[in-house]
Amino acid sequence: MPVETINWKNGRIRYIDQTLLPGRLKFVECDNIPKLWKAIKTLAIRGAPAIGIAGALGVVLGANSCKTESRGVFLRDLRRQIKYLASSRPTAVNLFWALARMESVAESNIGKPVSAIRRLLLKEALQILEDDRNACRAMARYGASLVKAGDTILTHCNAGGLATADYGTALGVLFESKRLGKRIKVYVDETRPLLQGARLTAWELIHERIDTTLICDNMAASLMAKGKIDKIFVGADRIASNGDTANKIGTYSLAVLATHHGVPFYVVAPVSTFDLDINTGRDIPIEERGGDEVRTVMGKMIAPKNVKVYNPAFDVTPNHLIRAIITEKGILKAPYSRSLRRSAA
Amino acid sequence: MPVETINWKNGRIRYIDQTLLPGRLKFVECDNIPKLWKAIKTLAIRGAPAIGIAGALGVVLGANSCKTESRGVFLRDLRRQIKYLASSRPTAVNLFWALARMESVAESNIGKPVSAIRRLLLKEALQILEDDRNACRAMARYGASLVKAGDTILTHCNAGGLATADYGTALGVLFESKRLGKRIKVYVDETRPLLQGARLTAWELIHERIDTTLICDNMAASLMAKGKIDKIFVGADRIASNGDTANKIGTYSLAVLATHHGVPFYVVAPVSTFDLDINTGRDIPIEERGGDEVRTVMGKMIAPKNVKVYNPAFDVTPNHLIRAIITEKGILKAPYSRSLRRSAA
């Protein structure tokens, strides 16, 4: 069973503080939006689908904290809270998608008493969580159909149970392959600067007793040159209409290297990751984070204090480098401008 | 002026302990071979040319510590010490090249008294150091002829003053460009696992007041995709007859990415880095180092303690990805099997 990364419990959000893993598995309870905002901002809660769920549950916190019975005041306050939650991180579209779903529930039920709207908002947030759980299982099944016994697979960052409500996107494919009795070996990029591969993915894979080897991000090419990587599976934070995919920094690098070495490169993501309002990856806003994430590791300074840093949290992989996009609706192939729109319909 | 990374002082080797940089600039004196062996093994002394110089000076320590006046005993002991020094690190050929030069001095002067041979060995080691100094200056001049004012340059690992007896190979090119008044901007890969880029290269470049930006290794592709990198300069640890080049892990990755993006990729290395006894990079032994270098950063555990690790210290860049090899004899172009042999003659 996957760990319960995020859920709703006794009127609060209960989540794992992922900044403490793998050293410590700590569950945190959160009953207010500023604390949730900070948890998302600092990557205590992270992974595009999990951020979406956090946003939806955050709207419930906001609705419950607003004590008015005036529907107008309630809706105005809710919109303010939604706007604030949306400001936590700019790239993963699942957050905006979930917030829009929540806002739409409030708007379309505005004729009802505020207490009823609150209940409907909770129901919707839990539905988003449940939908993600089901999407994970469906993606895993589709993805596992591409994995052969004996495959050696490379993954980057964390697209596992810690990024979703269930057992993940890219990692779900690996867990399902294992469950089906396919013997696989997995290489994990450590994924600097915040080391989600080393800290989170290695932890999840070892927990599921999958043969796991950790590498630094700059070692993947060398493995590919030796023919040691059969397939690459990664997650996604936002996918434009044409299939261009934003994901954790370093993903684009892997996709170019995969193409050079003839290694199939797969993206695994739920349909909620699609952003059909934008045409290409050029329109995806890329979050740039603080320099100390690069200058330090776990609080230790690793570079001259005064060195300038460039720290984009994501990069964009152009559609032509992606062999297929695996969603809960099926395995999508190029031309993505057609297959994405059809599956999102 | 470059820092004095390694030199001979009062009958001892004096070197900078590079594991402590950039936090602390500590000079260490070394009067015995086991201590020197450990300094090379742990990368307190590192960089192919610097390791060669360390090896040569180590032979002098060995010659001085052997108190015999018997030339036979002396030579036997010297060979044993040389073999031991050669076991410290397997990939950089400069070490073996320098040790062979030292052994040959002892052998060709074996008719002389041991005290004379000792003096000749010191003279040879200091000549190797002086030759490297001159080679650095010549490479820098040739390399700088390829740099235009306004260029943005990417480098990997440390190929600077800390890797040589003077101001470096790849970094020498940048220092010389700056000296010539060409305004340049440099991106530095942090270079996991041991962070020579973040710790050493950033420190050297900032010291010379060059506009320096630190990135994680997985960010270089993203910069290239944006057209932000004009040229890449790296060092080398061993170059096969056909131009295939072993250098710090991640170099091959950069070379593939550079080719994909049309960015010229240059290797800067003295002729002592050539290994004309081997035909291709397949014959270069690649050092694999301990897993804790990847599992930890500056002593902090960043991954599950029990995760397997793959930690090659170097990779091999095939000749066709290299635009030119810059040596103290000039700028060498393909076909390298011809140009390398000619320049080494």
Give pLDDT tens digits for B276-314: 999 999 999 999 999 999 999 999 999 999 999 999 999
| C-beta pairs of A294-297 under 8 Å, 24+ apart in sequence | A294/A192, A294/A193, A294/B190, A294/B198, A294/B214, A294/B215, A294/B216, A295/B198, A295/B214, A297/A193, A297/A195, A297/B297, A297/B298, A297/B300, A297/B302
ipTM here: 0.97
The two tokens of residue A246 are 């934003």
- Please tell me if residue A1 touches chain B, with a CB cutoff of 8 Å: no
A35 Cβ partners below 8 Å, 6+ apart? none
Count interface pairs A-B at CB distance under 8 A.
Answer: 189
Q: Which residues of A touch B308 (CB under 8 A)?
A: 211-214
Where are any strands of DSSP class E within A167-248?
185-189, 211-215, 231-234, 238-240, 245-248
Q: Which residues of A touch B23 (CB under 8 A)?
A: 301
Compare all CA atoms of chain A with the CA of B192 and give the residue at the minimum distance. A216
Angle at A81 between CA A80 and CA A83, to 5 degrees: 65
Mean pLDDT of B256-285: 98
C-alpha span between B327 and B345 (Å, rounded): 13
Compare all CA atoms of chain A with the CA of B215 and give the residue at the minimum distance. A310
Q: Of A237, A244, A275, A315, which one is the catalytic site residue?
A: A237
The per-residue pLDDT of chain A, averaged, comes to: 97
- pLDDT per residue over A43-91, tens digit each? 999 999 999 999 999 999 999 999 999 999 999 999 999 999 999 999 9
Report the pLDDT value the prediction gives residue B219, as an integer from 0 to 100: 98
| Exposure string for B151-176, b = 16+ CB within 10 A, e = fewer | bbbbbbbbbbbbbbbbbbbbbbbbbb
C-alpha span between A191 and A202 (Å, rounded): 11
* CA distance to partner chain A, nearest, from residue B45 (Å): 18
Given a cut of 80, is residue B139 above it in pLDDT? yes
- Please tell me if residue A225 touches chain B, with a CB cutoff of 8 Å: yes
B56 and B129 in contact (C-beta within 8 Å)?
A: yes
CATH architecture of A139-344: 3-Layer(aba) Sandwich (3.40)
Report the pLDDT value the prediction gives residue B1, as an integer from 0 to 100: 58
Given a cut of 80, is residue B2 above it in pLDDT? no
In chain A, residues 253-312 whose CB comes closer than 8 Å to chain B? 253, 256-257, 259-260, 291, 294-295, 297-304, 306-312
Give yes or no on whether A6-137 and A139-344 have one common fold.
Answer: no
Report the pLDDT value the prediction gives residue B259, as an integer from 0 to 100: 98
Report the pLDDT value the prediction gives residue B231, as an integer from 0 to 100: 98
Q: Which residues of B touch A214 (CB under 8 A)?
A: 291, 294-295, 303, 307-310
- pLDDT per residue over B81-129, tens digit each? 999 999 999 999 999 999 999 999 999 999 999 999 999 999 999 999 9
Q: Are B206 and A306 an interchain contact pair (Cβ–Cβ within 8 Å)? A: yes
* CA distance to partner chain B, nearest, from residue A48 (Å): 20
> Domain limits of chain B?
6-137, 139-344
Report the pLDDT value the prediction gives residue A3, as an integer from 0 to 100: 82
The two tokens of residue A166 are 């269930």
Mean pLDDT of A248-271: 98
Q: Of B131, B237, B244, B275, which one is the catalytic site residue?
A: B237
Q: Are A256 and B257 an interchain contact pair (Cβ–Cβ within 8 Å)? A: yes
Compare all CA atoms of chain B with the CA of A24 and give the residue at the minimum distance. B304
Report the pLDDT value the prediction gives residue A345, as an integer from 0 to 100: 83
Q: What share of chain A in percent tops pLDDT 90?
A: 98
Tell me which CATH code domain B6-137 carries: 1.20.120.420
Q: What share of chain A in percent tops pLDDT 70?
A: 99
In chain B, residues 164-223 whose CB comes closer than 8 Å to chain A? 187, 189-193, 195, 198-199, 202-203, 206, 211-223
Residue holding tokens 């996107």? Answer: A169
Mean pLDDT of B146-150: 98
Bridge partners, residue A163, by sequence:
none
Residue A237 among the catalytic residues: yes
**CB-nearest partner of A198 from B217, B249, B302:** B302
Report the pLDDT value the prediction gives residue B344, as an integer from 0 to 100: 87
Report the pLDDT value the prediction gives residue B345, as an integer from 0 to 100: 83
In one-letter notation, the amino acid at residue B118 is: R
Given a cut of 70, is residue A1 above it in pLDDT? no
* 3-state SS class at B247: strand
